[in-house]
């Protein structure tokens, strides 16, 4: 077997002993563009061994040296940006401008990882009692597994792994087998930046590779991003095997629209946030929740022509608003959700099913779709629809709108559009969602704030990026020290509970 896309272990391309591989598609043409090697449990054992060894030396490398390499990584990554965008476009299908946006966000995450010395410098209390000092240190965990989804082939792996590496861990990245090539490029970029071989490794594969990581005794922690069911599985299985785990799942992101909002502005934001990247974003707006029938009718009137005007095309078509879905199975799933919304009684206002693009007849495209009168008990509402089919759920008042959001099992992102500050304040106080926007449709925080949802959008403590990411990737030790004066004499054991008098 000589797979086109191989693992990256100890600084080398490695095909592994697993003997399994999978197809990587160009989703715009439906053609297979490469074969990707899949790691077996033995392959994972090999990479964990390499990472453990390299990680030990890396953890003892000075902070100054580690930082220098992370800075180099940023610069080498920026230099490689155009090639990476092209690669992401080919394998994922997103437009080049969208891919560039993803890479820009990744740069922010790398830059934030450079604040690692400040985030992990520990605490010191002098003289807590009886000439005793207390201090705490944050040390790397060892080897961290990062398991990433298909929808951000470079950004999510970078968000997960750069802070992990910066604070002194070794990493085994298991990227999505649908888009494996960008991850290998990240390995090469780290190498160019001067990272010692074996600190950043890539092992490809499917459930077999993930299970091997979750059970391997050499892996100290797992950070996962993907669909909710798999996130829950990874969290439970990882914890059962004694690992520190943070697992991010899917989203169902509501956009509440109050009657006083500027509806033209709302409509534009709904289109960008709802359909951008073919809605294959965990923070994409899934449904609008206009308050009052008048608001709903006026909003739908503005949305229909905008959805009809959406241009769909391959990644390098500069006029395309978005590209194909990731697999033919994804296309079928999204079209099935649309079918079910219709049979459940919703009103299909724009139908993107059965879209065929000339020259790309076998591509996995679904056109922009808008469904009105979606009801909370429909599968179209309950499930995360990971494709360009968006809905309108009408609410009669603000209470009902907020309740709707809180009753949904997912809690990644939410937005409210209004000019009423009092209503907005009440909204962000009461809504049970991790990332909240007020007149901001995609409330992804800046790299230096914590990123993470609530409810079944996130399992475990820890954040994808932000200050708490540094905490997740380190263990805290607290040390008490006393240096007796040369004149201190032993005066017998003290059997009482030690207090700090």
∠ CA 421-267-440, nearest 5°, is 40
Minimum CB distance to ligand NAD, residue 56 (Å): 27
Q: What minimum distance in Å lies between the beta carbon of 459 and ligand NAD?
A: 10
169 binds ligand NAD (CB under 6 A): no
Coil, helix or strand for 413?
strand
Site string for ligand NAD, 407-446 (x = CB under 6 A): -----x----------------------------------
Per-residue three-class SS string for 116-132: HHHHCCCEEEEEEECCE
Among the listed residues 114, 146, 239, 282, the single catalytic one is 282
How many helices (H) and strands (E) the chain has is answered by 16, 22
CA–CA gap between residue 94 and residue 7 (Å, rounded): 24
Residue 282 annotated to the active site:
yes
Using the Cα atoms of residue 7, residue 12, residue 18 and residue 23 in order, give the sign of their dihedral. positive
Cβ distance to ligand NAD smaller for residue 296 or 415: 415
> Could you say which of 56, 121, 207, 419 contacts ligand NAD (CB under 6 A)?
207
Could you say which of 140, 153, 250, 447 contacts ligand NAD (CB under 6 A)? 250
> Considering the complex, what minimum distance in angstroms separates the CB of residue 94 from ligand NAD?
13
CA distances for 334 relative to 129, 148, 308, 339, 364, angstroms:
64, 22, 18, 9, 11
b/e per residue, 288-312, with b = 16+ CB within 10 A?
bbbbbeebbebbbebbeebbeebeb
Structure tokens at 483: 């240096």
Shorter beta-carbon distance to ligand NAD: residue 210 or 415 = 210
What is the maximum alpha-carbon separation in the chain? 91
Give the distance from CA 150 to its chain's centroid: 10
Residue nearest to ligand NAD (CB): 226
Q: Who contacts 298 (Cβ-Cβ below 8 Å, separation ≥6)?
A: 263
Q: At its nearest, how many Å lie between ligand NAD and the CB of residue 134? A: 36
Angle at 160 between CA 157 and CA 161, to 5 degrees: 80
- Pick the binder of ligand NAD from 150, 200, 381, 459 (CB under 6 A): 150
Taking the complex as a whole, the smallest distance from the CB of residue 386 to ligand NAD amounts, in Å, to: 6
Q: Is position 148 an interface residue for ligand NAD (rule: CB under 6 A)?
A: yes
From the list 462, 473, 448, 471, the residue with the least C-alpha distance to 112 is: 448
Please identify, using beta-carbon distances, which residue of 175 and 313 lies nearer to ligand NAD. Answer: 175
Nearest to 476 by CA among 215, 167, 60, 242: 167
- Minimum distance of ligand NAD from residue 237's CB (angstroms): 8
Q: Closest separation between CB of residue 149 and ligand NAD, Å? A: 3
388 is an interface residue for ligand NAD by CB under 6 A: no
Comparison of 27 and 453: residue with beta carbon closer to ligand NAD: 453
Is there a contact between 413 and 441 (Cβ–Cβ < 8 Å)? Answer: no
What's 278's DSSP letter? G
CB 287 within 8 A of CB 346: no
Could you tell me which stretch among 3-11, 23-31, 49-57, 171-179 binds ligand NAD (CB under 6 A)?
171-179
In three-state form (DSSP H/G/I as H, E/B as E, the rest C), the secondary structure along 175-239 is CCCCCCHHHHHHHHHHHHHCCCCCCEEECCCCHHHHHHHHHCCCCCEEEEECCHHHHHHHHHHHH
Compute the least distance from the CB of residue 399 to ligand NAD, in Å. Answer: 27
Nearest Cα neighbor of 109 from 154, 146, 140 is 154
Kindly write out the interface string for residues 266-305 of this chain, putting x where it contacts ligand NAD by CB under 6 A and - elsewhere: ----------------x-----------------------
Segment interacting with ligand NAD (CB under 6 A) among 50-58, 71-79, 102-110, 206-214: 206-214
| Under rule CB under 6 A, residue 225 binds ligand NAD | yes
Looking only at residues 453 through 492 of this chain, which bind ligand NAD when binding is defined by CB under 6 A?
A: 453, 457, 464
Nearer to ligand NAD, 228 or 418 (CB): 228
Select the span of 12-20, 144-152, 347-355, 438-446 touching ligand NAD (CB under 6 A): 144-152
Count residues near ligand NAD (CB under 6 A). Answer: 29
| CB neighbours of residue 367 within 10 Å | 22
Residue span binding ligand NAD (CB under 6 A) among the ranges 60-68, 105-113, 151-159, 399-407: 151-159
CB of 51 to ligand NAD, least distance (A): 18
Taking CB under 6 A as the criterion, the residue among 10, 18, 142, 149 binding ligand NAD is 149
Question: How are beta strands 369-372 and 389-392 bridged, if at all?
Answer: parallel
- Which residues contact ligand NAD (rule: CB under 6 A)? 147-152, 156, 174, 176-177, 206-207, 210, 225-227, 230, 233, 248-251, 282, 384, 386, 412, 453, 457, 464
Q: Which residues are catalytic?
A: 282
């Amino acid at each position: 077997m000589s797979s086109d896309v191989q693992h990256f272990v100890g600084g080398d391309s490695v095909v592994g002993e697993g003997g399994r591989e999978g197809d990587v598609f160009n989703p715009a043409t439906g053609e297979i563009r490469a074969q990707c090697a899949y790691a077996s449990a033995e392959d994972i054992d090999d990479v964990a061994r390499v990472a453990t060894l390299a990680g030990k030396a890396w953890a003892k490398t000075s902070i100054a040296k580690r930082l220098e390499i992370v800075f180099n990584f940023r610069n080498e990554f920026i230099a490689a940006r155009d090639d990476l965008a092209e690669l992401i476009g080919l394998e994922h299908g997103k437009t080049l401008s969208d891919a560039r946006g993803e890479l820009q966000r990744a740069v922010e995450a790398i830059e934030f990882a450079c604040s690692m010395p400040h985030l992990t410098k520990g605490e010191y209390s002098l003289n807590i009692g009886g000439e005793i000092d207390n201090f705490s240190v944050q040390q790397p965990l060892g080897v961290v597994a990062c398991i990433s989804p298909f929808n951000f082939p470079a950004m999510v792996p970078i968000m997960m792994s750069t802070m992990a590496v910066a604070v002194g861990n070794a990493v085994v990245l298991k990227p999505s087998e649908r888009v494996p090539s960008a991850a290998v490029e990240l390995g090469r970029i780290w190498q160019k930046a001067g990272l010692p071989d074996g600190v950043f490794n890539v092992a490809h594969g499917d459930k077999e590779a993930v299970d091997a990581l979750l059970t391997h005794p050499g892996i100290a922690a797992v950070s996962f991003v993907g669909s909710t069911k798999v996130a829950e599985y990874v969290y439970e299985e990882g914890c059962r095997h004694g690992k520190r785990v943070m697992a991010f799942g899917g989203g169902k992101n509501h956009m509440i629209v109050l009657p006083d909002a500027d509806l033209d502005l709302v409509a534009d934001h709904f289109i960008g946030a709802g359909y951008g990247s073919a809605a294959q974003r965990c923070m994409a707006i899934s449904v609008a929740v206009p308050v009052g029938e008048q608001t709903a009718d006026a909003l739908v009137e503005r949305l229909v022509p905008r959805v009809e005007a959406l241009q769909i095309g391959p990644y390098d078509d500069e006029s395309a608003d978005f590209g194909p879905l990731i697999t033919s199975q994804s296309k079928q799933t999204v079209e099935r959700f649309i079918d079910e919304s219709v049979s459940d009684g919703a009103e299909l206002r724009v139908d993107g099913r059965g879209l065929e693009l000339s020259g790309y007849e076998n591509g996995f495209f679904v056109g922009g779709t808008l469904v009105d009168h979606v009801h909370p008990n429909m599968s179209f509402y309950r499930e995360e629809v990971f494709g360009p089919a968006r809905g309108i759920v009408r609410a009669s008042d603000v209470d009902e709108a907020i309740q709707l959001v809180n009753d949904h099992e997912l809690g990644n992102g939410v937005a409210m559009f209004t000019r009423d500050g009092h209503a907005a304040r009440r909204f962000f106080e009461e809504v049970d969602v991790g990332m909240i926007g007020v007149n901001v449709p995609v409330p992804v925080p800046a790299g230096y704030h914590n990123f993470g949802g609530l409810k079944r959008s996130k399992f475990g403590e820890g954040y994808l990026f932000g200050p708490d990411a540094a905490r997740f990737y380190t263990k805290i030790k607290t040390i008490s020290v006393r240096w007796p004066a040369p004149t201190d004499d032993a005066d017998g054991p003290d059997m009482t509970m030690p207090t700090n008098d």
